[in-house]
Amino acid sequence: MKTWIALAGATLLTGTALGQTDVTQAAREFREANEAAILTETLDFLRLPNVADNREDMLANARHIIALMEARGIEGRILEAGDASPAVYGELTVPGATRTLMLYTHYDGQPVEPENWASDPFDPVIRAGRLENGAEIIADPLAGEIDPDWRIYGRSSSDDKSPLIAMFAAIDALRAAGQGPNVNIRFFLEGEEEAGSPHLRDLLEAHRDLLQADLWLIADGPIDTRGDPRVLLGVRGVTSMQVTIHGAERVLHSGHYGNVAPNPAARLAHLIASMRDETGRVLVEGFYDDVLPISETARGYLEAGAFDEASLLEEPGIARTEWGPGALYGEAVMVPALNILGLDAGTVGPGTRNAIPDRASAAIGFRVVPGMSLERLRERMNAHIEAQGYVVLDREPTDAERLEHTHIAEVHWESAGYEAASTEAGHPLIGHLVELVDEASERPVRVVPLLGGSLPLAPISDVTNTPFAIVPVVNPDNSQHAPNENLRIGHLWDGIELYAAILADDWETD
């Protein structure tokens, strides 16, 4: 079912050397003839430990990637910036090509706790299905026919080493078929994404000249839970604050001090209630001022089924979206969210003491959307708390302050935090990308204008001023970041076809 075409606008496919079906068919045939070799390359790559804080390990990975590039005539090199874990850059210039795609993956993985894994995270194995279903390790998986439902278990098998293998195999397939690539390709492969991308901005700024492209494609994260290919155009940003309302100097008897001592837990409840209503609408002055409206194109993608609405709600037992009856999941995550992440005061449950707490704390998280600025958000939130009658401190109050002020709030903002980042759904290159991805699969493409979660993509759009899109490869049930991370082999096969279609195109959309 292909409902996207009318919604995505009238962008037409142009300049593809082969018809799309021919390209994916060629990629499939190449893969079928080379499955063992592709998996061998994958497994070899996964055998290199890749936790970002181990510089030696990361250098070994980087050199391995450069070797894989060089085997394909891609000019590879390490990019450095300060004490950043090394990034790998690669360049493949195609004669006659006028457009350049920047392909992004990260090659570092989440830290591992081997005792929680069923097999060594850095000695990948292939199982005949899902571990949860009791699938056993296959002794010699590459000897015969390979079932696409088999899975590779190992750290970074899905997040994010296999998408890079898919890209390399796609290039190999196009060349074997004499069909390209027909676009200039650059690689920017990060080595510390799982550590929060602390030097991404530095790396991009230090190597600004190298990192020119028409479009960044990011092969991180999973495809749609319904098994459909996915194009994601942005992420919400994130930050958080800790608010502590101070009461009396010590915990007081709830009888002798009930109605006498200020109750910081009750005050915190009122403060939170003043910040947002029960449907998630934020009541803080100016909070929505900078929010960019949802475009018609984006709304079209949402209404065409950007998300699997029913299962996203039913599976975790949600009667309806908090944002309101009738609000789509995708709409709810395109507006900023003020989440109460935690509350802590006094005692609750069987050990409850009849006492008035001396303080009450809340952790408040924010998911911001394009247009907003974390700095202005912080200013507005602090101003809101002051407008509720509080003196805002960044430390405990002194004894004198306690006796002087009836309302004291201690506020700490998370020093890190990501700004939101997105590419306009109506951008012509995005429309083109969506068509290519849709044509490359028998299943409909799901276009997500904005993901509810956050990734450090803002530096990419800020520094390069280039549109970007996330085009994932791996299975949604890959246990990324957790023990027993895995890749369904059939998803790797589909990823090769997907990236072959993307790289076979000449991207001359005008």
Site for its own copies in 444-483 (CB under 8 A): 451-454
Binding of its own copies at residue 293 (CB under 8 A)? no
CB of 455 to its own copies, least distance (A): 9
Return the axis-axis angle of helices 20-33 and 428-440, rounded to nearest 10°: 50
Among 306, 337, 447, 473, binds its own copies (CB under 8 A): 337
Our finding on whether 394 is near its own copies (CB under 8 A) is no
Tell me if 320 contacts its own copies by CB under 8 A.
yes
Contacts for 264 with CB less than 8 Å, ≥ 6 apart? 245, 246, 247, 345, 357, 358, 359, 360
**Which residue, among 334, 361, 333, has the nearest Cα to 345 in the 3D structure?**
361
Cα three-residue angle 330-332-337, rounded to 5 degrees: 135
Residues in contact with its own copies, counted by CB under 8 A, come to a total of: 82
Give whichever of 11 and 480 is closer to its own copies, judged by the CB atom. Answer: 480
**Contact status: 250 vs its own copies (CB under 8 A):** yes
Cβ proximity to its own copies: between 214 and 249 the closer is 249
At residue 128's C-alpha, the angle toward residues 123 and 131, to 5°, is 70
Site for its own copies contains 306 (CB under 8 A)? no
CA distance 447 to 471: 10
317 binds its own copies (CB under 8 A): yes
Question: Among the candidate windows 185-193, 379-387, 397-405, 469-477, which touches its own copies by CB under 8 A?
Answer: 397-405
Contacts 24+ apart (CB under 8 A), 204-207: 204/459, 204/460, 204/463, 204/464, 205/81, 205/463, 206/79, 206/80, 206/81, 207/79, 207/81, 207/89
Q: Which of 2/412 has CB closer to its own copies? A: 412
Fill in the amino acid letter for 447.
V
Residues between 398 and 417 that touch its own copies (CB under 8 A): 399, 402-406
Q: Does 431 bind its own copies (CB under 8 A)?
A: no
What angle, rounded to 10 degrees, do the helices at 489-504 and 20-33 form? 140
* Start-to-end CA span in the chain (Å): 27
Residue 301 contacts residue 4 (beta carbons within 8 Å): yes
Stretch 66-95 residues interacting with its own copies (CB under 8 A)? none
Segment near its own copies (CB under 8 A), from 24-32, 124-132, 335-343, 374-382? Answer: 335-343
Binding mask 226-245 for its own copies (x = CB under 8 A): ---------xx-x-x-x---
Q: Work out which of 138, 284, 312, 393 binds its own copies, going by CB under 8 A.
A: 312
Q: Measured from the CB atom, is 116 or 354 closer to its own copies?
A: 354
Pick one of 21, 40, 311, 347: the residue that binds its own copies (CB under 8 A).
347
Q: Which of 162, 264, 211 is nearest to 464 (CA)?
A: 211
- Give the one residue of 253, 283, 375, 481 binding its own copies; rule: CB under 8 A: 253
Give residues 176-235 in contact with its own copies (rule: CB under 8 A): 235
The answer to whether 272 contacts its own copies (rule: CB under 8 A) is: yes
Shortest Å, Cβ 357 to its own copies: 7
Three-state secondary-structure class, residue 227: coil
In contact, 189 and 165? CB cutoff 8 Å: no
H-run or E-run covering 244: strand 237-246
Judged by beta carbon, residue 150 or residue 323, the one nearer its own copies is: 323
Q: Which two tokens stand for residue 336?
A: 């900023």
Comparing CA positions, the residue from 2, 148, 118, 58 lying closest to residue 497 is 148
Is 346 an interacting residue with respect to its own copies (CB under 8 A)? yes
Rounded Cα gap, residues 425 and 447, in angstroms: 9
- 387 is a site residue for its own copies (CB under 8 A): no
Quote the DSSP letter at residue 194. Answer: G
Nearest CA-CA partner of 28 in 38, 17, 41: 38
Exactly one of 19, 114, 196, 258 binds its own copies (CB under 8 A); which one?
Answer: 258
Residue from 10, 349, 395, 415 in contact with its own copies (CB under 8 A): 349
d(CA 499, CA 437) in angstroms, rounded, equals 9
State the Cα–Cα distance between residues 170 and 177, nearest whole angstrom: 11
Alpha-carbon gap, residue 488 to 171, rounded angstroms = 21
- Compose the 104-123 pattern: x for residues touching its own copies by CB under 8 A, - for all others: --------------------
Token pair listed for 388: 């509720």
Pairing, β 237-246 against β 359-368: antiparallel
Segment interacting with its own copies (CB under 8 A) among 95-103, 207-215, 363-371, 440-448: 363-371
The residue range among 296-304, 308-316, 427-435, 463-471 that interacts with its own copies, by the rule CB under 8 A, is: 308-316
Closest contact distance (angstroms) between CB of 342 and its own copies is 3
Nearer to its own copies, 210 or 328 (CB): 328
Among 297, 321, 475, 480, binds its own copies (CB under 8 A): 321
Residue from 6, 13, 318, 416 in contact with its own copies (CB under 8 A): 318
Radius of gyration of the chain (CA): 26
Under the binding rule (CB under 8 A), the answer on residue 319 touching its own copies is: yes
